[in-house]
Amino acid sequence: MLNKGSRAAALPAVSELDETLLSHRKINKETSKIMDYPANFIHDIIEKDLAKGIVNKIHTRFPPEPNGYLHIGSAKAIRINFEAAKRYGGLFNLRYDDTNPEREEDEYVRSIHEDIVWLTGEEPTGGIFFGSDYFEKCYEVALGLIKSGKAYVCDLSGEQMREYRGTLTEPGKESPFRNRSVEENLDLFTRMRAGEFPNGHCTLRAKIDMASPNMNMRDPAIYRINHTEHHRQGDKWCIYPLYDYAHPLQDAFENITHSCCSIEFENHRPLYDWVVEQLTVDNGQLTVDNGQLTVDNGQLTVDNGQLTVDNGQLPVGPTNRPHQYEFARLNMTYTVMSKRYLRELVESKLVDGWDDPRMPTLSGLRRRGYTPSAIADFLDRAGYSKAQSVVDIAMLEHCMREELNASALRRIAVTEPLLVTITNFPEDKSEMFPISNHPGNSDMGKRELPFTRRIYIERSDFSDNPPPKFHRLKPGTEVRLMSAYIIKCDEVVRDGNGEIIELRCTADLETGNGVPADGRKIKGTIHWLSAEHCTDSSIMQYERLFTAEEIPGDADYTDFLNKDSAKLISGVKLEKTLETAKPGERFQFVRLGYYTPDSKNPNVFNSIVDLKSSYRP
């Protein structure tokens, strides 16, 4: 369905692929949804690498910092990495990038894992790792860098460092500490680790190029001192590697082949490559006993089978090193995606936690009733490119509707009940009408709904002052009660305030639940519930969180919060079959939308998405 035939031509020739890959592809073609996942530029790169034998087994990763909950933008990063591995028979790692002890918490570690498993439907095939578990290895590599004169301890303060760094248009100046001896650097760095210096006293910097037009290359700090307890390492460390240094090393340690991240890291790629290259053969890390290293068919082999690595680190070379690729991050209309805003919404109690059903977080979407498959479908349809964009949230809603239309059982809910008395129907009679669980799919079966003299219909399904094309109940005309009688409104009963409190109608008992013998056409069909056989419940009706498609960058985003984004509707009547509904089950409330029981509040149903309605008064 989403597969583009034209993409087939871009795939490498069959002969260029190895057997495992081939069989994988064949299986997918016949049975799985995976092949429907459209190719993208990342796949193009991977397929070229595979075809050329540059890589043998694809290995990707998703490296969240455990400092917040995952959102649908994170899901894009997960999916791009996860699907690349899956599609090409590779492995996918979850790696917590927990190199900053001040921001990370175990709660987030837990939620991230839960969300990823929910989204992908499986535990990460390559394993779960923590960046902080590599601190010792990172430290050793840093020692190597110092020994080869590629890193130095710098005593410049933060402010001084900023001055020395130069500006976007002017080159920086070299630090006065740049040419310290290897011995001095080694001594200082050892003492940094030993805790001899307070926070901010000095840093370890990579010696690259203070005049580089890329600010990231102007001798970036790669280690800082921070005497803060780490959520996982406790007080074991007081020096922490920075992202630009730690991340490429982590990728290399895990034998990641394709490291896909979002576009803002594009400027960091030269530094990523620089760090990775410090791990190459001539760095002294790899010893091959006769000096001969060859690569055959993407397979790393050594002439006589003898390969030694001095610290257990797999050697990195031209054919087995990680590469970083960037894709555009996801933006959606009527919501915000930055973790900062999401956290603020939670902390200021503007929403009911990270899993508030209005939030674009995965936990929020899950609680709202969204499915992983609809999210994946949405992500794939929105596509993966490098162009900055804002995807219409209507596309997400469409994906959810499309899936639920096929899978959700139809049920009846009357949200604003208006009493209707069927005057020609006996007081003590109860008649069962069979009603389909899904009009388009008889395999989903049917149930029986009791019909009695007193029923409820939606207040909005009656009007005594109907606008044009009002195909519902109005005085003197007929309407179909879904799967039951045709009724005609004879009388409108009002209370002292003129409020309509009851409708008195007569049913066409001759026709019953059938087509009228005289062939007359009934325009409208409305839903109903026996007033004696229904249950009381509530609905949380959700709308978009914000009132504007995009929040202007210079505005206060709280000014754009939609005050009606969550409305509790109580006094809702539901058919009895819904009494046993459990969170995780999704229903179509006929003519209204899709709903699911809220996981936190018993007897409350969350609106997932409304049905598309083309009626305009």
The set of catalytic residues is 65, 329, 339
Q: Under a CB-based contact definition with an 8 Å cutoff, are residues 155 and 292 in contact? A: no
By CB under 7 A, the count of residues binding RNA is 98
> Using the rule CB under 7 A, is 395 a contact of RNA?
yes
Give residues 238-297 in contact with RNA (rule: CB under 7 A): 240, 242-244, 246-247, 263-268
Q: Is 376 in the site for RNA (CB under 7 A)?
A: no
Q: Which of 156, 208, 359, 414 binds RNA (CB under 7 A)?
A: 156
**Residue 263: CB minimum distance to RNA, A:** 6
* Selected binder of RNA within 125, 190, 525, 535 (CB under 7 A): 525
Run of H or E residues at 7: none
Beta bridge partners of 354: none
Q: In what order do the strands lie in the sheet with 151-154?
A: 151-154, 203-206, 221-225, 239-241
Contact between 394 and RNA per CB under 7 A: yes
Segment near RNA (CB under 7 A); pick from 6-14, 112-120, 229-237, 274-282: 6-14
Binders of RNA among residues 485 to 514 (CB under 7 A) are 513-514
Distances (CA, A) of 62 to 32, 42, 96, 233, 383: 23, 15, 8, 21, 18
Instruction: Judge whether 481 and 528 are in contact, CB under 8 Å.
Output: yes
Asked if 389 interacts with RNA (CB under 7 A), we say yes
Residue from 85, 91, 578, 590 touching RNA (CB under 7 A): that is: 590
In angstroms, rounded to a whole number, what is the distance separating the alpha carbons of residues 315 and 328? 31
Cβ nearer to RNA, comparing 8 with 296: 8
Q: What type of residue is 152? A: Y
Question: Per CB under 7 A, does 173 bind RNA?
Answer: no
Question: For RNA, which is the closer residue by CB, 319 or 338?
Answer: 338
| Rounded CA separation 527/273 (Å) | 63
- Among 363, 339, 328, 495, smallest CA distance to 419 is for 495
Select from 398, 459, 488, 533 the one that contacts RNA (CB under 7 A). 398
Sole binder of RNA in the list 8, 13, 387, 517 (CB under 7 A): 387
586 binds RNA (CB under 7 A): no
Report helix, strand or coil for 612. Answer: coil
- Interface residue with RNA, options 120, 537, 588, 596 (CB under 7 A): 588
Q: Does 448 bind RNA (CB under 7 A)?
A: no
Token pair in block for residue 364: 């929020």
Contact range with RNA by CB under 7 A, out of 237-245, 279-287, 311-319, 359-367: 237-245
Contact 363/342 with Cβ under 8 angstroms?
no
Residue 447 binding RNA, by CB under 7 A: no
Collapsing DSSP states into helix, strand and coil, what is residue 478? strand
Kindly tell me which of 468 and 498 has the beta carbon lying closer to RNA: 468
Q: Which stretch binds RNA (CB under 7 A): 71-79, 376-384, 536-544, 575-583?
A: 376-384
Helix (H, G, I), strand (E, B) or coil at 593: strand
81 near RNA, rule: CB under 7 A? no
Q: Which two tokens stand for residue 358?
A: 């209005």
Distance CA 405, CA 395 (A): 15
Q: Judged by CB under 7 A, which stretch of 73-81, 281-289, 361-369, 470-478 contacts RNA? A: 470-478
* Member of 450, 475, 524, 583 binding RNA (CB under 7 A): 524
- What is the C-alpha separation between 374 and 400, in angstroms, rounded? 5
What is the C-alpha separation between 233 and 13, in angstroms, rounded?
A: 48
Query: Binding residue for RNA (CB under 7 A) from 214, 299, 442, 570?
Result: 214
Restricting to residues 413-432, name those near RNA by CB under 7 A: none
**18 — phi, psi (to 5°)?**
-80, 170
DSSP letter for each residue of 217-261: GSS-EEEEE----BTTTBTS-SEEE-HHHHHHHHHHHTT-SEEEE
Interface pattern 174-213 for RNA (x via CB under 7 A): -------------------------xxxxx---------x
Q: Is 555 in the site for RNA (CB under 7 A)?
A: no
Distance CA 76, CA 124 (A): 16
**Residue 227 touches RNA, criterion: CB under 7 A:** no
Does the footprint of RNA cover residue 301 (CB under 7 A)?
no
Binding track, positions 102-141, relative to RNA; x by CB under 7 A: -x--------------------------------------
Stretch that binds RNA, among 86-94, 224-232, 252-260, 350-358 (CB under 7 A): 224-232
Q: Which stretch binds RNA (CB under 7 A): 48-56, 221-229, 313-321, 492-500?
A: 221-229
Indicate the burial class of 260 (C-beta count within 10 angstroms; 0-12, 13-18, 19 or more).
buried
User: Of 99 and 320, which has the nearer Cβ to RNA?
Assistant: 99
User: Which range touches RNA (CB under 7 A), out of 134-142, 413-421, 433-441, 540-548?
Assistant: 433-441
Least distance between RNA and beta carbon 349 (Å): 24
Q: Of residues 335, 483, 596, 607, which one binds RNA by CB under 7 A?
A: 483
Comparison of 286 and 399: residue with beta carbon closer to RNA: 399
User: Can you point out the beta strands (E) in 443-565?
Assistant: 446-451, 454-458, 478-481, 486-494, 500-507, 525-526, 528-530, 535-542
Can residue 87 be called a binding residue for RNA (CB under 7 A)? no
What does the block give as tokens for 610? 């409304």
What is the β-pairing status of strands 258-262 and 323-327?
Answer: parallel
Binding mask 342-371 for RNA (x = CB under 7 A): ------------------------------
The pair of structure tokens assigned to 28 is 């997918």
For 557-587, the DSSP string reads GGGGB-TTSEEEEEEEEE-GGGGG--TT--E
Instruction: Return the bridge partners of 110, or none.
Output: none
Identify whether the C-beta of residue 577 lies closer than 8 Å to the C-beta of residue 533: no
Q: Which of 6, 348, 465, 580 binds RNA (CB under 7 A)?
A: 6
- Asked if 65 interacts with RNA (CB under 7 A), we say yes
Q: Looking at 71-79, 142-150, 395-403, 567-575, which segment touches RNA (CB under 7 A)?
A: 395-403
Q: Binding RNA by CB under 7 A: which of 14, 26, 41, 448?
A: 41
Helix/strand/coil (H/E/C) assignment for every residue in 388-432: CCCECHHHHHHHHHHHHHHHCEEECEECCEEEEEECCCCCCCCEE
Binds RNA (CB under 7 A): choice among 33, 137, 381, 504: 381
Q: What is the DSSP letter of 280?
A: B
Shortest distance (Å) from residue 303 CB to RNA: 38
Select from 215, 309, 509, 568 the one that contacts RNA (CB under 7 A): 215
Question: Quick check: 402 binds RNA (CB under 7 A)?
Answer: yes
Ramachandran sector of residue 330 (left: φ over 0; alpha: ψ -120 to 50; beta: rest): beta
